[in-house]
């Protein structure tokens, strides 16, 4: 996604910043290292924190897989399951996590041709909404990790 949005050689012509492929790759690797560091070294303070760590690592498997097949995004399912469990346990009183959950699910669902139609699906695929789906779900899981339950 970093290469798609930041390099001038990207096939989708989005190029927010005219970086070279190597510069974009360097930024992507740096951001990935930060994400992995936040997952592995930042400990949570609740009983869902360890489960959230595993869910976050599963999401990273989907996001950083070089072939980016849509079937890889089934790795988001454990994260959704943990968030649903947490929301049921708290009776949906944690509004920020509920909003992030709904936004993530909506972004992932809109990317389907059967929901959005072919033209809109192509546009959403161009801007990589499935990647944003994973990132928003990650934000919800990071917030869950910090919560005291």
pLDDT digits (tens, 9 = 90+) for 86-130: 999 999 999 999 999 999 998 888 766 677 777 777 777 766 778
Q: Which two tokens stand for residue 69?
A: 């097949």
Beta-bridge partners for 7: 19
End-to-end CA distance of the chain: 34
pTM of this structure = 0.79
Distance of CA 16 to the CA centre of its chain: 20
């Amino acid at each position: 996604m970093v290469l798609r949005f930041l390099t001038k050689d990207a096939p989708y012509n989005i190029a927010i910043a005219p970086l070279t492929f190597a510069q974009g790759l360097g930024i992507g690797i740096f951001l990935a290292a930060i994400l992995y560091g936040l997952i592995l070294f930042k400990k949570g303070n609740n009983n869902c924190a360890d489960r959230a760590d595993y869910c976050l690592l599963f999401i990273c498997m989907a996001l950083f897989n070089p072939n980016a097949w849509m079937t890889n995004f089934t790795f988001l399912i454990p994260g959704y399951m943990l968030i649903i469990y947490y929301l049921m346990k708290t009776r949906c009183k944690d509004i920020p996590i509920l909003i992030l959950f709904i936004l993530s699910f909506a972004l992932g669902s809109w990317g389907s041709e059967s929901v959005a139609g072919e033209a809109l699906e192509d546009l959403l695929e161009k801007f990589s909404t499935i990647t944003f789906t994973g990132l928003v779900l990650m934000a919800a899981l990071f917030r869950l990790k910090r919560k005291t339950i």
